[in-house]
Structure 1
């Protein structure tokens, strides 16, 4: 049974990592939940240590993925309301246009909010590019944290447990 749980955990971690890049699933949480189920199944101190390390890595990435882009957006002058408009239209787009709607709705929402605020196309487009870049940075930070946790888990599966 332990081998089956390990394989399923590995698949869930992989799906979680894909879910970070294609934000359909809560990728980091799915990966951490898979590691938790694995630690419960392994039922050893090393399994719980691995879970704790992975929890710290994923938890830290969750904090940093909001702090760093937020600060950089503030420095660039992009207000939270524009990001909120992007998120709202991204969610609407997700349901209106399957698969790609989120990627269309988010920049449109940011652009429309910034165009209303700044009144010029060039300034609104500049802010939209900042928002898109920082969204990419946020995804990258979460991807790195979850990938590191997956590496710790895989190392433990191969060499420790």
Structure 2
């Protein structure tokens, strides 16, 4: 697979990560489709194992998300700034403390956005809890799975 094709797969993976944060965009499916495209073109053992692992993880993620309450973000006033802070926090947390850092990074990003918007700790903490109860948990589950698949893909590309 050439450098341009790897770049395009990487861009689709990045689009999938952003798609998790934007309602209505099928982010996890974009991540899975990019890994499938890569595996079909590379045709190595690690590529097939990554595709199988990504497929299993995405299926488990969908089952978990279906078991969570429905996403209701409109009444909470979820803004683009909050989504950007939460996504950035999750990515930083994932990089600084692999795999488990996505949770405190995501929640911390929401808290920081609410703290800047509302001003006080008590109000920001209450707003963060409300966001996490209504929509944050399902987004966090999907984002964690997608980050894990993207990190595995980057590792597989660098290794071989």
TM range (shorter): 0.5 to 0.7
Q: CA deviation at 1:44?
A: 1.5
CA distance in 1, matches of 2:7, 2:139: 26
- Which runs of no fewer than 5 residues in structure 2 stay unpaired? 84-128
Q: CA deviation at 1:132?
A: 6.3
Aligned to 2:104: none
State the TM-score, normalized to the length of structure 2: 0.59
CA distance in 2, matches of 1:5, 1:52: 21
In the TM superposition, 1:1-161 aligns within 5 A as: 1-67=1-67, 69-70=68-69, 133-159=133-159, 161=160
* Bigger helix share: 1
Number of aligned pairs? 111
Q: CA deviation at 1:29?
A: 0.1
Summarize deviations over 1:58-98 as a string: whole Å, max 9, x none: 2221211222x23xxxxxxxxxxxx59x59x89xxxxxxxx
CA distance in 2, matches of 1:131, 1:140: 11
- Which runs of no fewer than 5 residues in structure 1 stay unpaired? 71-82, 91-98, 104-128
Q: CA deviation at 1:17?
A: 0.5
- Rg (Cα) greater in structure: 1
State the TM-score, normalized to the length of structure 1: 0.59
CA distance in 2, matches of 1:14, 1:24: 16
Q: CA deviation at 1:9?
A: 0.8
Q: CA deviation at 1:53?
A: 1.1
> Over the residues paired in the alignment, what is the CA RMSD in angstroms?
2.8
Q: CA deviation at 1:4?
A: 2.1
